[in-house]
Amino acid sequence: MTAQNIIEIRGLWTQFGDFVVHRGIDLDVRYGEILSLVGGSGSGKTTMLRQMLGLERPARGEVRVFGTSLHGSDATALRHLRNRWGVLFQEGALFSALSVYDNIALPLRELRAVGEDMIRDLVMVKLEMVGIEPRHATKMPAELSGGMIKRIALARALALEPELIFLDEPTAGLDPDRSESFVTLIRELHRELNLTVVMVTHDLDTLVALSDRVAVLCDQRVEIIGTLDEVVANPHPFIRNFFMGERGRRALEAVKAVRDIMSMT
Ligand SMILES: Nc1ncnc2c1ncn2[C@@H]1O[C@H](COP(=O)(O)OP(=O)(O)OP(=O)(O)O)[C@@H](O)[C@H]1O
Ligand SMILES: [Mg+2]
């Protein structure tokens, strides 16, 4: 484990029956970066994310987070590790039977280390952080828009002040405006909280707007990991298709335009 890596994956091999998903993958996530994981449907992105969370065990290989091997750790060690990261799941982002307040309070209550007064303050701070007004705290998830649910789920992921967060398709299902403002929120929080972010996304605008580096999963391995410019230059057919379709070209042109403006000012 080198000091600059928050996650290190070595020789990751995942197999369901005869079907091989990951064929000996090595991957590092550096402290402080936003790393995006992309790949075709079924390429093993969600599975790899679950392996980084210690929810799934690979057939072979090692996943180390904060210098600790997840699959060699006992339940207590794993629980401690889990308190050091936050996760925004794609589906079921909030518990539907709990209010907004109770959803965010849940990880704090599970810690059994803070009193209700303190929890109240922390919940309110987190709501403000994600741009949700305090009056929504008593609402139930069914009363909220998709964009609000994502924000509140993010507040819950941040409840324990993690250094690392995992986002699975953070902007899926949001309309373009809500998606853009959620991307802006992630970017601001990443900067203000010194977060490391590992994100799975299909959405090119999100990918382009947020990623420091991109890792592309295809043919059971990481075809390339690098900056967007490095990845886009890769000739693999999947990558060409992914970035050079109509939407991909537009997203990349938008980035180039912003960079040009930035370099002029
Ligand atoms: N528990 C399991 N048992 C059998 N096969 C599985 C299991 N989990 C995943 N798979 C298979 O492994 C492959 C990778 O699945 P995974 O969900 O990681 O893909 P993905 O890259 O997230 O795809 P998508 O973009 O569609 O979400 C798929 O072919 C899937 O069917
Ligand atoms: Mg998936």
Ligand 2 geometric centre to CA of 36 (Å):
13
Tell the CATH superfamily of the 1-84+212-265 domain. P-loop containing nucleotide triphosphate hydrolases (3.40.50.300)
In which order are the strands placed within the sheet that holds 5-16? 19-30, 5-16, 60-65, 68-69
Q: State the Cα–Cα distance between residues 173 and 43, nearest whole angstrom.
A: 21
Atom 28 in ligand 1: which residue has the minimum CA distance?
42
Structure tokens at 147: 């964009």
Sequential pLDDT tens for the chain (265 residues)? 556 899 999 999 999 999 999 999 999 999 999 999 999 999 999 999 999 999 999 999 999 999 999 988 888 888 889 999 999 988 767 999 999 999 999 999 988 888 999 999 999 999 999 999 999 999 999 999 989 999 999 999 999 999 999 999 999 888 889 999 999 999 999 999 999 999 999 888 899 999 999 999 999 999 999 999 999 999 999 998 888 777 677 777 777 777 777 777 6
Q: State the Cα–Cα distance between residues 36 and 170, nearest whole angstrom.
A: 11
Smallest-distance ligand from the CA of 43: 1
Ligand 1 geometric centre to CA of 42 (Å):
5
Ligand 1 geometric centre to CA of 106 (Å):
29
Structure tokens at 4: 């600059």
Q: Which residues, chain by chain, have CB under 5 Å from ion ligand 2? A: 46
Which of 43, 223, 242, when mutated, tests ligand 1's pocket best, judged by the most ligand atoms within 8 Å of its CB?
43
Cβ neighbours of 45 (radius 10 Å):
22
**Residue 184 near residue 174 (C-beta atoms within 8 A):** no
Atom 7 in ligand 1: which residue has the minimum CA distance?
16
Ligand 2 geometric centre to CA of 58 (Å):
16
Ligand 2 geometric centre to CA of 168 (Å):
8
Single pTM value for the model: 0.91
List residues near ligand 1 (CB under 6 A).
16, 21, 39, 41-47
Residues near 29 by beta carbon (within 8 Å), at least 6 away in sequence: 5, 6, 7, 8, 35, 196, 198
In which order are the strands placed within the sheet that holds 221-226? 85-88, 164-168, 196-200, 34-39, 213-218, 221-226
